[in-house]
Chain A
Amino acid sequence: MNRSLPRAAALLLAGCHTCGKVSPVALGRCPRCGSPLHLRKPHSIQRTIALMLAAAALYVPANLLPIMTVVELGEVTENTIIGGMLSFWRSGAYPIALVIFTASILIPLLKIIALSWLCLAATGKLHPSPKMLGKIYWFTELMGRWSMIDIFVVGILVALVQLGNYMTITPGPGALAFAGVVVLTMFAAMSFDPRLLWDRLEIYGIDSSTFKKADL
C-alpha cells in the first residue's frame, strides 16, 4: 500500500456525506450544504447490526407466511414466495423462476450474510480485506432494491385479478414482512461505513503512519 497517501480522518477532515465537500470536522456542519459532518457515519456498526437483525427476524415470517391468497371458484390457495417460484419452475419457466429465486430468496439472504461479514471485519473479528469487502459492500447496496420485485408482483396481481366469484387475489401478511426485510436491509447497508474496514487495516499496522485511533 502507498504510505504517502494521507487519510482525511488523520487530518481531522471530513468529506460531507451529502455534497462531498471536504471540511474540518470541527465545523460541525458542512459550510456548503449544512449537513452534519462526521469523520465516520455515527454508530455505524451498532445501527447496521440492529437493522440487520430485525431484517433477519422478519425473513422467517416473510418466507413462511403467504404473500398472497388466491380464491379461485371458492377454492382458497395460500401462496408463499418459495411456492410461487416452484410453480414457475415446474411449469418450465426456468428463467423467471431463477429471477424470483435470486431477487426474493438469494439476495436478502446474501445481504444479511454480507452485512454480518462486513460488521465482523470492521470490528476486527475477521481479517479485513477492504478491496474485496468494499466491492461486496458496493454490490450489497446496488442489489438491495431488486428484492422489491415480489411485492410489486403482489400489487399488480391484486390490482388485476378482482374477478368476483371467479377469481380474486388478496395480499397476505408475508408480503408486509418481506417488504420489511427489503427496506430494513437497505437501511442497514446505508448505515454501514466502508471506511471502517480501511481503519481496521491500519490498526493492524499495515499503514499506521497516517492514522491515529484517537482521531475517531
Chain B
Amino acid sequence: MKKSFSKTKRSMHPWPMLPGGIHRSVCHFCDTLHESAPLSEGMAARCQRCGAVLYQNRSASLVRVTAFSIAALLLMVVVNAFPFLTMDAASIRTTLNLASAARALIEQGSPVLGIALALFTILSPIAMAGGLIYVCGPLMFGRIAPGAMVVAKWLNKTEPWNMVEVFLLGVIVSLLKLAKVAEVEFGMGFWAFGLLMLCMAAAMAGIDRDELWDRLEVAKS
C-alpha cells in the first residue's frame, strides 16, 4: 500500500513533454543529430555514433536536487562556524576555516590567490546550492521563479569552478605537512565540509541539464 502511494507521488511530475513537433538532441562531442525519445526514470540515452551520454532521466530529480542543495547550504553554515583544523604549536593555538585561509593569503601579499580561493571554495558552492534551490524548488510545483532562466544559465558557468573536493584533499595534504611541526587536529568544519562535498555532488548529479531546461520551458509557457 505504502509502496504504490510513493510511486504515484513520484510519477505525478514526470519529465514533461515539450509542445510541438519532433524533439531532437545533438551530441556535444560529435554533433550527431538524434530524435529524442522519452526515457523512463533511471535510464540514459547515448549517442549512436560516439557513445557519449546525450541525456538521462534521473529519478525524483527535482526533489532530490532541492533536498541535497538545502542540506549543502545548511552545512555551509556549519563549515564557516567551526574550524577545519586546530593547530597547537609554540604555545599558540591557530585555527583554520575557509575565510581565514582566504584572508591570510590576502594579508600576506597574495590578494589574487586569496580572492580565487574564496571564489572556488566559498562563493561558488553557495551560488550553486542557492541557485539550484531557487530554480528547482518552485519547479517541483510546476512554477518558475522570476529570473530562473538566467540563474540556470549561470549555474552552468559556475559548475567547473566549484572546487570543494579539491580543497578537502588540500586540507589532508596540509595536515600531513604540519604533522611534523605541530599538533594538528581535525575540527567539526572538516567533517561538515566532507558532507557538503557529497551533498553538492549528489545535487549536481541529481538532474540532467536537458530535463531541467525542458521543465523550465514547460513551466514558463
Residues of A whose CB lies within 8 Å of any CB of B are 1-2, 5-9, 11, 13-15, 18-22, 32-35, 84, 88, 91, 93, 96, 99-100, 130-131, 134, 137-138, 141, 144-146, 148-164, 166-167, 170-171, 175-176, 179, 183, 186, 190, 194-195, 197-199
Contact = CB atoms under 8 A, between A and B. Distances in A.
Given A99-B169, A156-B174, A20 B29 contact: no
Contact of A149 (B30, B166, B213): B166
A93 B84 CA distance: 22
A122 to B, nearest CB: 13
> Which 10 residue pairs across A and B have the least CB separation, nearest first?
A15-B26, A152-B170, A159-B104, A19-B213, A171-B110, A156-B174, A166-B90, A155-B101, A198-B30, A195-B31
A151 B90 contact: no
Given A2-B49, A6-B32, A33-B149, A171 B117 contact: no
A1 B49 CA distance: 7
Contact of B104 (A155, A164, A198): A155
B181 interface: yes
Interface string B38-73: 000000000011111001000000000000000000
24 contacts: A8-B26, A18-B156, A19-B213, A33-B149, A33-B153, A99-B169, A131-B51, A134-B30, A145-B166, A152-B121, A152-B163, A155-B102, A156-B84, A158-B108, A159-B94, A159-B100, A160-B178, A161-B87, A170-B109, A175-B113, A176-B113, A179-B113, A195-B28, A198-B31
Given A21-B213, A179-B116, A156 B31 contact: no
B176 A96 contact: yes
Given A134-B50, A157-B174, A179-B113, A145 B163 contact: yes
Contact of B178 (A84, A161, A195): A161
A99 to B, nearest CB: 7
A204 to B, nearest CB: 15
A158 B104 contact: yes
A195 B49 CA distance: 12
Contacts of B87: 160-161
A159 B94 CA distance: 8
A151 B26 contact: no
Contacts of B174: 153, 156-157, 160
A190 B160 contact: yes
Given A8-B33, A158-B108, A167-B90, A146 B166 contact: yes
A41 to B, nearest CB: 10
B171 interface: yes
A5 B35 CA distance: 11
Contacts of B178: 157, 160-161
A186 B116 contact: no
